[in-house]
Structure 1
């Protein structure tokens, strides 16, 4: 937490067996064996005396040096090759959210809790398989989206895809996915 090279943090939480677990990750590891000093110690009045880029107090705000975040895309675990294809901005979080939302609605249908316009609730399913994430399908759809066609992407005949356009275009990714999955 106090390592001077750290300039980025990401946190998440989850309820685990009745306890709230909060986990934060830093973009540089101050606990690594190669790290000899967490930060350079200063004397009285030295707070922010060596802030980058000019080694002075110009970029000091409330005792901390203001520096740009050094972004380094994390290696995805669900689709490890995503960074080398067109899915650079699809994160594992987004993949998990999409998969969980699809399976949520499939469960509603399979268990007879999905609303149906004709019979109030749809009939239960005899065998509704749980979806798993397919990286090859992601690659195919990303290759079709590369030129932003503004219409459903043409894929192999045996595949179907969901397509929805909404505004504003700068909606946060998670909110956009929620809008796509909203069932009227």
Structure 2
């Protein structure tokens, strides 16, 4: 059959579109689903691959803050639009239990209050609180983390759906779930050359991860077909001042449009990482350095993001001093600061924010802390436990952060109001979680107290 030159050109164009916009390791992914954006896909994929890269290179830490054994033949995950489509279909069922996936696939699923980016981050923190056995002992406490780092997995696709005020998050992997007896990864040396990648053919090596070529689909699609992306609405923020967007890409800066130095993705990480840990503390699930769990908290507030605090934090971060400006202050506005180098596992400000929050919080497991009476004492002002208590102070309600790249380092500052670290005061009231004072409503899924105004 013959065809006109015009028809042939259109056919070629449609094929090229399919070649250029299929599955991949980075934007544009070319997926048709509109429940998440390419920014969402990139953030989730980067989080998973950064964790895999850390494990492969022996930089992953276990529950005791000891290095996990390095891994050989750890493959970089590729985003699969077809897996995303399956995940979207299942997420929209809004099931209270995990939906069934196809044979040969694994999944991470939750019905809760977090969006995709925040939930992936929470899955990657399971290792901070639970022991990981390899081969797996089938522990449900690290099931999602284990699926994320399973070495033979090469593709993932995720989706989210709104379900009567909750969010259903579904990620599907192209390897079965890790179960008891599964070897999560083979211990060894991370790849340095393509010849080290032997599980699958045609892989190259990139920073310790084996990278497969992007699959090329020749299925023709209608040229010019597009979708309309939607995003999850931002949480309540407080701000004053002009509303003109100071960022040249306003769509990335909706929470605090007058502040051009930060992005919503970084703000989301900062806020969710803080509230996730405060929720764990409220539930009595945070261990001290001796392994004993701190008591549950009855009055733990859910933090709100404050744009004015962010503006100040960003200005302080720009000083590139890499430290707290007033470490022994009490009350008022409290500040946590962190200075860390740009590395393969921390290449962007998003990761610098994540790692800074981890650094501040993990002091509760590293140093002598606040004791079971949860009282802040004079000597705590000179201890790094003060970083943890700033994050954990129950009556703190507002958070604002800034992270700036200073040469080959990141400077991260977070500010807290009303601040804690008041000598002689309790960090929180011990008791049944979510016994909220007047003017607050309990967030049942988090066991945090949410201000009514």
In the superposition, the TM-score normalised over structure 1's length comes to 0.57
Residue-pair matches, total: 128
- Please give the alpha-carbon distance, in whole angstroms, between the structure 2 residues aligned to 1:146 and 1:19: 36
**Distance apart, 1:171 and its partner CA:** 2.3
Instruction: Give the alignment partner of residue 308 of structure 2, picking from 136, 154, 162.
Output: 136
The answer to whether the Cα contact below 8 Å between 2:283 and 2:296 also exists between their aligned partners in 1 is yes
Structure 1 residues not aligned, in runs of 5+: 3-7, 26-70, 83-87
2:338 alignment partner in structure 1: 164
- Please give the alpha-carbon distance, in whole angstroms, between the structure 1 residues aligned to 2:315 and 2:160: 37
2:54 alignment partner in structure 1: none
Structure 1 pair 134–20 and aligned structure 2 pair: CA distance change class (3 A): same
Instruction: Give the alignment partner of residue 270 of structure 2, picking from 98, 103, 128.
Output: 98
Alignment of 1:53-68 (within 5 A): none
1:62 alignment partner in structure 2: none
The answer to whether the Cα contact below 8 Å between 1:109 and 1:125 also exists between their aligned partners in 2 is yes
SS in 2 for 1:165: strand
2:354 alignment partner in structure 1: 178
**Distance apart, 1:102 and its partner CA:** 0.1
The answer to whether the Cα contact below 8 Å between 2:250 and 2:257 also exists between their aligned partners in 1 is no
2:258 alignment partner in structure 1: 81
- Please give the alpha-carbon distance, in whole angstroms, between the structure 1 residues aligned to 2:305 and 2:169: 29
**Distance apart, 1:117 and its partner CA:** 2.5
Structure 1 pair 24–109 and aligned structure 2 pair: CA distance change class (3 A): same
1:116 alignment partner in structure 2: 288
Structure 1 pair 154–23 and aligned structure 2 pair: CA distance change class (3 A): farther
- Please give the alpha-carbon distance, in whole angstroms, between the structure 2 residues aligned to 1:122 and 1:23: 46
The structure with more helix, counted as a fraction of residues: 2
The structure, 1 or 2, with the larger RCO (C-alpha pairs under 8 Å, 6+ apart) is: 2
Is the aligned partner of 1:15 residue 2:168?
no
- The farther-off stretch of 127-136 and 143-152 is 143-152
Is the aligned partner of 1:152 residue 2:314?
no
Structure 1 pair 145–164 and aligned structure 2 pair: CA distance change class (3 A): closer
Structure 1 pair 23–177 and aligned structure 2 pair: CA distance change class (3 A): farther
Tell me the C-alpha RMSD between the 2 structures.
3.4
Structure 1 pair 112–133 and aligned structure 2 pair: CA distance change class (3 A): same
Structure 2 residues not aligned, in runs of 5+: 1-13, 15-26, 29-36, 42-158, 172-226, 231-246, 363-453
- The farther-off stretch of 174-183 and 149-158 is 149-158
**Deviations along 1:18-59, whole A, 9 cap, x unmatched?**
68699758xxxxxxxxxxxxxxxxxxxxxxxxxxxxxxxxxx
- Please give the alpha-carbon distance, in whole angstroms, between the structure 2 residues aligned to 1:23 and 1:180: 34
